[in-house]
Structure 1
Amino acid sequence: MQFKLSLSSVLAIIAATAVAVNAAPAVKGRNVLDVWSPRIISPDATTVWLSGSTVNVTWDTSDAPVLISNAAAITLNKDDRIASEGFLKEFGSFSLLDGSAEVTVPATVKPGKNYSITLFGDSGNSSPHFQITAA
């Protein structure tokens, strides 16, 4: 048995499928708009880190969504090259809802002024440039 569909029938099927897909509920436990880019409090433009030291990275959680769907990580960047100096905290080692994370500045990092961190989770955002000095 062979079926033949007219162009109008094919277009009607495509339209009905598109409506059904768009009307489908979100995946259980996940908000459609759970992307969140928290404001990084520290480090800021006045921050000076000492290589090899332990420091705190902090961010504002006052407007955090109920659900954050991705694991978090923190990278150290030089000259706006994301993770050029490595990970300060690996993915999944802390929650964005914590509002802070203690990290160790790598002892091998060269002194300079164009450092930043990137806070990853549902969205990646970077701090202002700050300075790292030698131990």
Structure 2
Amino acid sequence: MSSRTSSLLLFVLAFFGVFLQLATAAPLETRDVYAPPVLYPHAGTVWYTGQTHNVSWDVSSPPVNITNKVGLIYLRKGVTSTPLILADGFDILLGRIEVTVPWVFEGDDYSVVLMGDSGNWGQDFTIKQ
């Protein structure tokens, strides 16, 4: 058998070996998107620059198979997302995380966005100096 024929035979066997492994692999586990509602801050809340607060969300009914359990919270102003990350890398099932209010322009149309699988934001609140 020539070297070229041996290489081709080896390639074909390897290809079918990989195909067989993929075909007999266990099915992927079903995953659920989890978007817990933000509880705090809520309408009427006033934050001041430099303060610390616990952003909280409802974790009373999480699905069994959450796609992404790593959380991220950032600030939103009006309908625009800001690049201001308030917290990241936490377990979404904690239900709360302490954040420090960054220096921003005063306004009453801020909200926090909670990201895990999906992004959802809380009610508008106020930030003052």
- TM-score range (shorter-chain normalised) is 0.7 to 0.9
- TM-score if structure 1 supplies the norm length? 0.71
What is the distance in 2 between the residues matched to 1:31 and 1:89? 28
1:26 CA drift (Å)? 4.5
Counterpart AA for 2:121? S
- TM-score if structure 2 supplies the norm length? 0.74
Is the partner of 2:65 in helix, strand or coil?
Answer: coil
CA RMSD in angstroms comes to: 1.8
More helix by share: 2
Is the partner of 2:79 in helix, strand or coil?
Answer: coil
Map of 1:104 onto structure 2: 100
Q: 1:26 to 1:40 in 2, by over 3 A?
A: farther
Runs of 5+ consecutive residues of structure 1 not aligned to the other structure:
1-23
CA contact (8 A) 1:78 1:85 kept: no
Q: Runs of 4+ in structure 1 displaced over 2 angstroms?
A: 66-69
Which of 1 and 2 has greater Rg?
Answer: 2
Map of 2:42 onto structure 1: 44
The number of residues matched between the two structures is 105
CA contact (8 A) 1:80 1:115 kept: no
Q: How does 1:19-98 map to 2 (within 5 A)?
A: 26-27=27-28, 30-32=29-31, 34-70=32-68, 71-82=70-81, 84-90=82-88, 93-98=89-94
Q: 1:26 to 1:131 in 2, by over 3 A?
A: farther
